[in-house]
C-alpha cells in the first residue's frame, strides 16, 4: 500500500497564522524507509499523528491507496509507535490483556523481539521502557500493518537496545515490504536505517 | 525484591479489617431494625415515659413504646433508603457520564446543563418538592433523595472520562480497531473505580441526613413509621418536660451511623488513591 | 580539591504492595531501584550518570534533594561540602546553593511572570540587576521578564530554568535529563552553559539516557545498568573501545550508529528484579560460572577507572 500526504496543513485552534505543518507533501511506497529530521518544535510528532489518523488535517489529506486514512474501519494499516511506551499501554491491564486486544501476538515476533513469556503476566509499571517498547512494536506489527511510523522510538532507550530494535525493524521492513517513516534527531541513525532522508523546517 | 513478614500490619490490612467491621455493624443494625419493627410500634400504656433502665436501655416514650426498638428500626429504614438512593444515583451518574463521552458534543452539552441545573437548587428544597409531588411517604422520600443526589457524582465521572478519552493508550486502542463502547468498558471504567466507589460511599451520609431532615420537617415519611426524623420531631415537644432520652439516643445513633459511612468512604479513598496507595 | 558532593553506597528502595500471580495483594515487598552507588563531584567537574529509562537514575537526583516519593527510603550516605546532607539541610540549601534543573518545564509557576519567578519575591535593585544579567547571559532580553511561562518555547523555558540557577551563586547543579526532545544542536547549546557554570566553580551532576550527549560535555561518566553503576570512566576513555572496562560499556560503544550499530542479544533486566551476581550476566558473551553465583559484584578500581566486573579483561 502507498501512503500519500497531499498539501497537508495543520494548526491548533486560533493559530491559523502559525500552522505547525504547512502544505506538506510526502509519498511512502512499499518497502521504502523515509527518515525525517528537523529541529525540535517543528511538528514531527504532529505529522506522525496526522499520517496515522489520530488527528484530522485542517487542509489537504492523507491517502492510503487512494482512500483517506481516517476512513479505515477496524485496525488501521498505518500504525504509529510512540516515543514513550509507558503512556500507550493501559496501566491497569496486564500486558497479556493489552496484547489480546490487538489481536494476539505472533510467535515469530515474540521470538525476534526477545519478549519473555513471563512478562505477559506483568503490569506495565513492572517493566522497563525498553521491554515495554518491544510490546508496543509487537502490537503495531500485526499482519494488517502496511506502514509503520516510528516517532523517536528508541530515543529514551540505551544504545544496545536501540541497535537491537533497529536490526529487527530493518529485517521486518524488508521481509514484509513495509513502508516506514523514521523520526529521529540522530543523523547517524537515520543514515544507517533509511533509504531516503527528508528535512522538516 | 524482599517480601516483608506476613504478620506485619499495613494500611491495606487495617483498612480491609475496618471495612469488614463497619459493614458488619451496619448490616447488623439493618437486620435488627427489621426484626424489631413489631416492637417499635407496640404501645403499652403501663410503661409510659420510663427513663433508661436495664429493661429499656433507651427508655420508653409517652405511648410506652421501647425507644431502643424504635431507634433501631428507624436507623434500619434510613440505611435502606440510603442504599436505594446510592444505587439509583450511581446508576444515573454512570449512565449520564458515559453518554456524555460516547454520544458526542451535543449530548454532552445537554447533560452538563442538566447537571448544573439540578446542582443549582439547594438539596433540601429539591428533596422536599419531589417528595411532596410524589405523595410523601416512603416512595416520596426515596424519589426525592435519589433524584437530587446524582449530579455531583455524574459531574465527577464525566470530568474523569473526558480526561481519559485523550489518554494516548485509549487513542492507540482506537486505531487498533477497538470500538468506542469497548474502550469505555475496558480502559475507562476501571480507571474510574476509585472515584466512583468513594463517591458512592460518601453519598450515604448525605442521603441519610437528608431523609431524616425532610421527615423531621414533615415532608417525608408519615408519622406512623418509626423513622429517625419522625422520632426526633415528636420528641421535641417532650424535651422541655425533661424527657431527654427521647432525643439524645436516636440523635446520637444517627450521628454515629453517618460518621461510620463517612469514615468508610475516606478509608476507601486512601486505599485507592495512587498518592497514598502504598502507605 | 575537596569534593562538593560525595555519595557513598547509596541504595534506594521502594515499598509496594504486591500484585500479580505470585503473591497476595496484602503483602508488601521492597524493590531496590538503586543499588550501592558511590559518586564524587569536585567543583568545576561535570559528572554524567548515564542509564536507560527505568534504570533508577532520576531517584539519584531525588535522594540528593531529599524529595524521594513517600513509599521509598534510602540507605548509605550523602555528604555535601564534607557534611552529611540531611533532608532538612537539603531543603534549606535548595534554591540557594543546590539547584535542580528538572526534566519538565512544568516546574515554572504558570501564573507568575518569568521575572517575578527569578526574583523570588525580592524587589531590591540589586536582585533586579542580577536577574536581568542572568537572563541576558542566556540570550534572553528584558522583555522575557514580562512573559508568562506558557508564552515561552521549549528551548526558552529551559534557558529560563538555567538562568534561575545563576541568579544565585550555584555550588552544585543537578540536571535531570535537562534537554528532552531537543535536537542535538539545541541540546549542545544548552549544555555548553553547563560547562561555563562548571568553569566558574560549580559541581554538576548530569543525569541522562543519552551517552553521546553525555560524552560531549562531561569529564567523567558513570554508567548505570539495572540500578547498578557498572563502570566509572573518563570521557576520553570512550575514544577507543579498548580503553573501556566493562563488557556492557563496550557493547554500548559498538552499538552507536557511527561505530557499527552492532547489537548484542538479551535484555537489560528490570531494576527491581530478583537476581544474583552480575546484572549483565544475561547479555554478556564473556559470562562465566562465578558471575552468576556471587552476591553483588563489588566495584573495584581498574586501569584508572572503576568497574563492577569479575573478569574485566575477558572481552578485550
pLDDT digits (tens, 9 = 90+) for B181-194: 888 888 988 888 88
C111 has pLDDT over 90:
no
Q: Which residue has the cell 522583555?
A: C143
**C105 falls in which pLDDT band (50, 70, 90)?**
low
> Which has more pLDDT, B18 or C22?
B18
SS3 sequence of B144-171:
HHHHHHHHHHHHHHHHHHHHHHCCHHHH
- Asked whether residue C16 is domain-assigned, the answer is yes
C247-255 and A159-176 are packed helices; what angle lies between their axes, rounded to 10 degrees? 40
pLDDT digits (tens, 9 = 90+) for A137-176: 999 999 989 999 999 898 878 888 899 999 999 999 999 9
Say if the Cβ atoms of B175 and A80 lie within 8 Å: yes
Asked if residue C283 and residue C202 are part of one domain, the reply reads yes
- Asked whether residue C173 is domain-assigned, the answer is yes
Residue in A closest to C284 by C-alpha: A160
Nearest by CB to B176, from A54, A93, A101: name it.
A101
Q: Which of C127, C152, C168 is the C-terminal boundary of a domain?
A: C168
Mean pLDDT to the nearest integer, B97-106: 84
A contacts of C256 (beta carbons < 8 Å):
159, 188
Mean pLDDT to the nearest integer, C123-133: 85
> Which has more pLDDT, B268 or C211?
C211
Mean pLDDT to the nearest integer, B26-43: 83
Angstrom distance (rounded) from CA B223 to CA B277: 46
Asked if residue C183 and residue C138 are part of one domain, the reply reads no
Say if the Cβ atoms of B175 and A75 lie within 8 Å: yes
A186 has pLDDT over 50:
yes
Asked if residue C145 and residue C261 are part of one domain, the reply reads no
- Asked whether residue C10 is domain-assigned, the answer is yes
Phi, psi of A128 (to 5 degrees): -80, 165
Q: Does B14 contact A at CB distance below 8 Å?
A: no
- Asked whether residue C315 is domain-assigned, the answer is no
How many angstroms separate the first and last alpha carbons of chain A? 27
**A26 falls in which pLDDT band (50, 70, 90)?**
very high
Give the model's pLDDT for residue C134.
84
Grid cell of B267 as nine digits: 478509608
Q: Does B13 contact C at CB distance below 8 Å?
A: yes
pLDDT over 90, % of chain C? 22
B69 has pLDDT over 80:
yes
Report the mean per-residue pLDDT for chain B. 83
- Asked whether residue C316 is domain-assigned, the answer is no
Mean pLDDT to the nearest integer, B75-104: 86
pLDDT digits (tens, 9 = 90+) for B216-249: 888 878 777 778 888 888 888 777 887 788 888 8
Asked if residue C246 and residue C120 are part of one domain, the reply reads no
Task: Kindly list the distances between the CA atom of residue A43 and the CA atoms of A10, A19, A35, C134, in Å, as whole numbers in the listed order.
Answer: 9, 9, 15, 30
Angstrom distance (rounded) from CA C72 to CA C13: 5
Asked if residue C89 and residue C32 are part of one domain, the reply reads yes
- Please enumerate residues of A whose Cβ is less than 8 A from a Cβ of C: 37-41, 114, 116, 121-123, 126-131, 155-164, 166-167, 185-189, 191-192
Say if the Cβ atoms of C270 and A130 lie within 8 Å: no
pLDDT digits (tens, 9 = 90+) for A74-91: 889 999 999 888 889 998
Q: Which of C135, C168, C201 is the C-terminal boundary of a domain?
A: C168
Report the mean per-residue pLDDT for chain C. 84
Asked if residue C134 and residue C219 are part of one domain, the reply reads no
Whose CA is closest to B83, among B196, B201, B254, B197?
B201
Asked if residue C45 and residue C9 are part of one domain, the reply reads yes
- Asked whether residue C198 is domain-assigned, the answer is yes
Give the model's pLDDT for residue C315.
53
Asked if residue C157 and residue C138 are part of one domain, the reply reads yes
ipTM of model: 0.90
Say if the Cβ atoms of C265 and A164 lie within 8 Å: yes
Give the model's pLDDT for residue A145.
92
Say if the Cβ atoms of A160 and C264 lie within 8 Å: yes
pLDDT digits (tens, 9 = 90+) for C209-238: 888 889 989 999 999 888 888 999 999 999
Give the model's pLDDT for residue C4.
93
Q: Does C142 contact A at CB distance below 8 Å?
A: no
Q: Does C31 contact B at CB distance below 8 Å?
A: yes
Say if the Cβ atoms of B12 and C26 lie within 8 Å: yes
pLDDT digits (tens, 9 = 90+) for C36-53: 889 999 999 999 999 876
pLDDT digits (tens, 9 = 90+) for C152-190: 777 788 888 888 877 778 899 999 888 776 777 778 878
C79 has pLDDT over 80:
yes
pTM: 0.78
Give the model's pLDDT for residue B6.
45
Angstrom distance (rounded) from CA C251 to CA C286: 12
B8 has pLDDT over 60:
no
B201 has pLDDT over 60:
yes
- Domain range holding C259? 5-21+28-97+169-307
Do residues A34 and A3 make contact, with C-beta atoms less than 8 angstroms apart? no
Give the model's pLDDT for residue A48.
93
Asked if residue C273 and residue C186 are part of one domain, the reply reads yes
A-proximal residues of C, 245-274, CB under 8 Å: 248, 251-252, 255-258, 261-272
A contacts of C182 (beta carbons < 8 Å):
40, 185
Q: Does B16 contact C at CB distance below 8 Å?
A: yes
Whose CA is closest to A87, among A12, A152, A172?
A152
Q: Does C155 contact A at CB distance below 8 Å?
A: yes
Asked if residue C299 and residue C180 are part of one domain, the reply reads yes
* Nearest chain A Cα distance for residue C256, angstroms: 6
pLDDT digits (tens, 9 = 90+) for A113-138: 888 888 888 888 778 788 889 999 99
**B110 falls in which pLDDT band (50, 70, 90)?**
very high
A71 has pLDDT over 90:
no
Task: Kindly list the distances between the CA atom of residue A159 and the CA atoms of A26, A28, C196, C211, C273, in Å, as whole numbers in the listed order.
Answer: 30, 27, 28, 8, 21
Asked if residue C253 and residue C175 are part of one domain, the reply reads yes
**C24 falls in which pLDDT band (50, 70, 90)?**
low
Say if the Cβ atoms of C273 and B16 lie within 8 Å: no
User: In what helix (H) or strand (E) does residue B250 lie, and over which residues does it extend?
Assistant: helix B245-272
Do residues C205 and C198 make contact, with C-beta atoms less than 8 angstroms apart? no
Say if the Cβ atoms of A128 and C257 lie within 8 Å: no
- Asked whether residue C290 is domain-assigned, the answer is yes
Say if the Cβ atoms of C211 and A126 lie within 8 Å: no
Do residues A57 and A103 make contact, with C-beta atoms less than 8 angstroms apart? no
A contacts of C155 (beta carbons < 8 Å):
40-41
Give the model's pLDDT for residue C49.
93
Give the model's pLDDT for residue B1.
42
Bin C118: left if φ > 0, else alpha if -120 < ψ < 50, else beta: alpha
- Asked whether residue C314 is domain-assigned, the answer is no
Helix (H, G, I), strand (E, B) or coil at B107: helix
Range of weakest confidence among B65-69, C5-9, C28-32:
C28-32
Say if the Cβ atoms of B175 and A89 lie within 8 Å: no
Angstrom distance (rounded) from CA B197 to CA B179: 26
B30 has pLDDT over 70:
yes
Q: Does C51 contact A at CB distance below 8 Å?
A: yes
C30 has pLDDT over 90:
no
Q: Which of C152, C168, C184 is the C-terminal boundary of a domain?
A: C168
A contacts of C153 (beta carbons < 8 Å):
41
Domain count, chain C: 2
Asked if residue C156 and residue C228 are part of one domain, the reply reads no
B contacts of A101 (beta carbons < 8 Å):
173, 176, 178, 186
Question: What's C208's domain CATH number?
Answer: 3.40.50.300
pLDDT digits (tens, 9 = 90+) for C263-279: 887 777 766 666 778 88
Amino acid at each position: 500500500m502507498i501512503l500519500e500526504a497531499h498539501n497537508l496543513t495543520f494548526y491548533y485552534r486560533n493559530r491559523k497564522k502559525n500552522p505547525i505543518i504547512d502544505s506538506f507533501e510526502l509519498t511512502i511506497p512499499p518497502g521504502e524507509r523515509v527518515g525525517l529530521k528537523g529541529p525540535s518544535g517543528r511538528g514531527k510528532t504532529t505529522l506522525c499523528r496526522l499520517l496515522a489518523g489520530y488527528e484530522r488535517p485542517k487542509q489537504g489529506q492523507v491517502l492510503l491507496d487512494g482512500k483517506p486514512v481516517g476512513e479505515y474501519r477496524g485496525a488501521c494499516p498505518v500504525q504509529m509507535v510512540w516515543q514513550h511506551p509507558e503512556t500507550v499501554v493501559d496501566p491497569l491491564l496486564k500486558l497479556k490483556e493489552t496484547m489480546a486486544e490487538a489481536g494476539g501476538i505472533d510467535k515469530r515476533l515474540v521470538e525476534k523481539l526477545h519478549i519473555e513469556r513471563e512478562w505477559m503476566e506483568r503490569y506495565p509499571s513492572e517493566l522497563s521502557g525498553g521491554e515495554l517498547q518491544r510490546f508496543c512494536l509487537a502490537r503495531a506489527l500485526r499482519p494488517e500493518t502496511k506502514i509503520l511510523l516510528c516517532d523517536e522510538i528508541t530515543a529514551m532507550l540505551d544504545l544496545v537496545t536501540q541497535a537491537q530494535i533497529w536490526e529487527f525493524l530493518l529485517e521486518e521492513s524488508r521481509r514484509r515490504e513495509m513502508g516506514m517513516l523514521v523520526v529521529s534527531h540522530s543523523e547517524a541513525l537515520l543514515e544507517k536505517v533509511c533509504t531516503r532522508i527528508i528535512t522538516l523546517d | 525484591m524482599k517480601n516483608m513478614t506476613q504478620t506485619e500490619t499495613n494500611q491495606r490490612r487495617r483498612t480491609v479489617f475496618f471495612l469488614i467491621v463497619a459493614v458488619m455493624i451496619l448490616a447488623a443494625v439493618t437486620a435488627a431494625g427489621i426484626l424489631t419493627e413489631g416492637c417499635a410500634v407496640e404501645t403499652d400504656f403501663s410503661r409510659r415515659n420510663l427513663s433508661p433502665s436495664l429493661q429499656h436501655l433507651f427508655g420508653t416514650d409517652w405511648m410506652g413504646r421501647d425507644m431502643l426498638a424504635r431507634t433501631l428500626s428507624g436507623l434500619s429504614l434510613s440505611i435502606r433508603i440510603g442504599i436505594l438512593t446510592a444505587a439509583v444515583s450511581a446508576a444515573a451518574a454512570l449512565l449520564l457520564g458515559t453518554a456524555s463521552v460516547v454520544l458526542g458534543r451535543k449530548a454532552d452539552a445537554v447533560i452538563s446543563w442538566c447537571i448544573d441545573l439540578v446542582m443549582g437548587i439547594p438539596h433540601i428544597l429539591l428533596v422536599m418538592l419531589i417528595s411532596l409531588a410524589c405523595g410523601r411517604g416512603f416512595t416520596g422520600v426515596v424519589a426525592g433523595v435519589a433524584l437530587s443526589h446524582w449530579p455531583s457524582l455524574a459531574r465527577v465521572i464525566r470530568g474523569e472520562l473526558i480526561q481519559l478519552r485523550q489518554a494516548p493508550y485509549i487513542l492507540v486502542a482506537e486505531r487498533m480497531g477497538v470500538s468506542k463502547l469497548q474502550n469505555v468498558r475496558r480502559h475507562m471504567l476501571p480507571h474510574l473505580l476509585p472515584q466512583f466507589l468513594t463517591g458512592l460511599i460518601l453519598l450515604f451520609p448525605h442521603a441519610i441526613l437528608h431523609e431524616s431532615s425532610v421527615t423531621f420537617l414533615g415532608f417525608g415519611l408519615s408519622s406512623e413509621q418509626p423513622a429517625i426524623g419522625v422520632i426526633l420531631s415528636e420528641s421535641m415537644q417532650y424535651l422541655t418536660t425533661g424527657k431527654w432520652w427521647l432525643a439524645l439516643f436516636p440523635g446520637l445513633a444517627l450521628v454515629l451511623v453517618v460518621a461510620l459511612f463517612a469514615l468508610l468512604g475516606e478509608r476507601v479513598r486512601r486505599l485507592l488513591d495512587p498518592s497514598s496507595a502504598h502507605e | 580539591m575537596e569534593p562538593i558532593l560525595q555519595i557513598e553506597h547509596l541504595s534506594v528502595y521502594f515499598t509496594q504492595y504486591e500484585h500479580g500471580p505470585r503473591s497476595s495483594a496484602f503483602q508488601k515487598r521492597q524493590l531496590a531501584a538503586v543499588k550501592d552507588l558511590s559518586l564524587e563531584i569536585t567543583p568545576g567537574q561535570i559528572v554524567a550518570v548515564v542509564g536507560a529509562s527505568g534504570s533508577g537514575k532520576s531517584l539519584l537526583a531525588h535522594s540528593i534533594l531529599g524529595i524521594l516519593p513517600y513509599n521509598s527510603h534510602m540507605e548509605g550516605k550523602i555528604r555535601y561540602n564534607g557534611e552529611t546532607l540531611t533532608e532538612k539541610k537539603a531543603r534549606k540549601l535548595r534554591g540557594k546553593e543546590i539547584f535542580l534543573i528538572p526534566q519538565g518545564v512544568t516546574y515554572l509557576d504558570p501564573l507568575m511572570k518569568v521575572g517575578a519567578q527569578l526574583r523570588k519575591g525580592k524587589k531590591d535593585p540589586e536582585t533586579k540587576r542580577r536577574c536581568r544579567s542572568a537572563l541576558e547571559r542566556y540570550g534572553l532580553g528584558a522583555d522575557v521578564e514580562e512573559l508568562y511561562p506558557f508564552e515561552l518555547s521549549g528551548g526558552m523555558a529551559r534557558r529560563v530554568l538555567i538562568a534561575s540557577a545563576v541568579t544565585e551563586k550555584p555550588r552544585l547543579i543537578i540536571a535531570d535529563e535537562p534537554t528532552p526532545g531537543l535536537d542535538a544542536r539545541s541540546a549542545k547549546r544548552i549544555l555548553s552553559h553547563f560547562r561555563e557554570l562548571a568553569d566558574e566553580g560549580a559541581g554538576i551532576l548530569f543525569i541522562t539516557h543519552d551517552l553521546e550527549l553525555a560524552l560531549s560535555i562531561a569529564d567523567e561518566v558513570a554508567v548505570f545498568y539495572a540500578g547498578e553503576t557498572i563502570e566509572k570512566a573518563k570521557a576520553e576513555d570512550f575514544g577507543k573501545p579498548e580503553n573501556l572496562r566493562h563488557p556492557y560499556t563496550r557493547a554500548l560503544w559498538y552499538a552507536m550508529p557511527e561505530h557499527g550499530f552492532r547489537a548484542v542479544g538479551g535484555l537489560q533486566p528490570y531494576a527491581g528484579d530478583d537476581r544474583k551476581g552480575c546484572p549483565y550476566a544475561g547479555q554478556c558473551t564473556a559470562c562465566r560460572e562465578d558471575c552468576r553465583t556471587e552476591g553483588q559484584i563489588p566495584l573495584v578500581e581498574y586501569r584508572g577507572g572503576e568497574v563492577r566486573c569479575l573478569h574485566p579483561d575477558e572481552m578485550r
